[in-house]
């Protein structure tokens, strides 16, 4: 019969070994478990998979939830409540609030999922505080899907991320087959109007690629800037076939548009081809982008087209 002290010793050794093996699933000999490049080209290293995640924009919150990470998201913005259940989450403020860096730092997250553009300085500030930040900032539909896979790798949800991307690609191929035989010059010319000051989308915005994947053409795709402001005269000169707004209700959006001085003379207004899609879709590049492309496609060609 084994000595009792020896049995205790063996048990302790096994427990220690298990602890080391478990820890090495997070940090292998001091090396990161995952290293990726984010949309800004920054190197993001994690020494263990995150259990405390902060999301700084609604589209990122939706993505994290779709990856099955709702319970690991500890903080979100006040804007996230429109499309996500944020009960029990810390509210860090608005997505453009300059004070959120300090609020995030106090939460000691393992990972922050931020967005590019206005939040680039936020990512840099948090990085200086030693907080890992991945900046999600796609310029196209394909880049959106590629960055979903990177977030899946960072959060140990690779399998789920792959399923999402495969679903999106399958649905996008179905949509493309509906308009692929239409000659480029015959595809609807679209104006994505962001404001009455004629803020539109240029080629640098992922929204321009969404329109292209839906079978349309962005009338300002020759401008490389993301969101240029142009003159009404320039809009009149290009005279789009379709105008896309981003309010929740199309009827209200169209009434608002027709009240703006000068806009009702455009071809799209005269032919009543003014549509609106919620910003919850058109402004959110993430795991639901295939649905956004389908909505835009149906605006351009009608439901059940093809």
Q: What is the per-residue pLDDT for 29?
A: 67
Rounded distance between C-alpha atoms, residue 180 and residue 271, angstroms: 25
- Decide: 179 and 232 in contact? Cβ < 8 Å: no
Q: Convert the pLDDT of each residue in 213-261 to its tens digit.
A: 999 999 999 999 999 999 999 999 999 999 999 988 888 888 888 888 8
Q: Residue 180 class from Cβ within 10 Å (0-12 exposed, 13-18 middle, 19+ buried)? A: exposed
DSSP string, 48-94: S--SSEEE-SHHHHHHHHHTT-GGGEEEE-GGGGGTS--TTPEE---
- Decide: 97 and 104 in contact? Cβ < 8 Å: no
The predicted model gives 90-110 an average pLDDT of 90
The answer, yes or no, to whether residue 92 has pLDDT greater than 70, is yes
Q: What is the per-residue pLDDT for 118?
A: 86
Q: How confident is the model at residue 21 (pLDDT cuts 50, 70, 90)?
A: very low
CATH numbers and ranges of domains, the chain: 30-137 (3.40.50.1980), 181-301 (3.40.50.1980)
197-230 burial by CB neighbour count: b if 16+ within 10 A, else e? ebebbbbbbbbbbbbbbbbbbbbbbebeebbbeb
The answer, yes or no, to whether residue 51 has pLDDT greater than 90, is yes
Is residue 54 helix, strand or coil?
A: strand
The answer, yes or no, to whether residue 17 has pLDDT greater than 90, is no
Angle between helices 100-107 and 120-128 (to 10 degrees): 40
The answer, yes or no, to whether residue 52 has pLDDT greater than 50, is yes
Mean pLDDT over the full length of the chain: 89
Q: Convert the pLDDT of each residue in 269-290 to its tens digit.
A: 999 999 999 999 999 999 999 9
- Please state the φ and ψ torsions of residue 112, each to the nearest 5 degrees: -115, 130
The predicted model gives 166-179 an average pLDDT of 98
Percentage with pLDDT > 70 across the chain = 90
Span of 9-13, 161-165, 168-172, 289-293 with lowest mean pLDDT: 9-13
Q: What is the per-residue pLDDT for 171?
A: 98
- Please state the φ and ψ torsions of residue 137, each to the nearest 5 degrees: -155, 70
């Amino acid at each position: 019969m084994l000595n009792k002290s020896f049995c205790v010793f063996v048990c302790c050794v096994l427990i220690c070994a298990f602890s080391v093996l478990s820890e090495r699933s997070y940090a292998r000999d001091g090396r990161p478990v995952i290293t990726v490049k984010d949309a800004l080209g920054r190197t993001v290293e994690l020494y263990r998979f995150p259990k405390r995640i902060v999301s700084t924009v609604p589209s990122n919150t939706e993505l994290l939830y779709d990856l099955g990470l709702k319970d690991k998201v500890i903080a979100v913005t006040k804007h996230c409540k429109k499309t996500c259940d944020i009960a029990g989450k810390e509210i860090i403020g608005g997505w453009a609030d300059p004070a959120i860096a300090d609020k995030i730092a106090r939460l000691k997250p393992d990972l922050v999922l931020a967005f590019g553009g206005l939040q680039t300085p936020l990512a840099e500030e948090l990085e200086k505080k030693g907080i890992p930040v991945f900046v999600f900032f796609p310029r196209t539909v394909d880049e959106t899907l590629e960055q979903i896979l990177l977030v899946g790798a960072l959060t140990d949800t690779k399998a789920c991320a792959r399923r999402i991307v495969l679903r999106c690609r399958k649905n996008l191929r179905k949509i493309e087959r509906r308009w692929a035989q239409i000659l480029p010059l015959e595809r609807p010319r679209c104006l994505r109007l962001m404001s009455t000051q004629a803020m539109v989308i240029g080629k640098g915005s992922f929204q321009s690629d969404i329109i292209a994947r839906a079978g349309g053409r962005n009338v300002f795709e020759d401008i490389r800037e993301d969101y240029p402001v142009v003159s009404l005269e320039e809009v009149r000169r290009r005279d789009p076939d379709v105008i896309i707004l981003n309010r929740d209700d199309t009827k209200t959006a169209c009434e608002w548009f027709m009240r703006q001085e000068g806009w009702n003379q455009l071809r799209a207004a005269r032919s009543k081809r003014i549509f609106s899609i919620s910003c919850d879709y058109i402004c959110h590049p993430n795991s639901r982008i295939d649905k956004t492309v389908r909505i835009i496609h149906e605006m351009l060609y009608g439901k059940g087209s093809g």
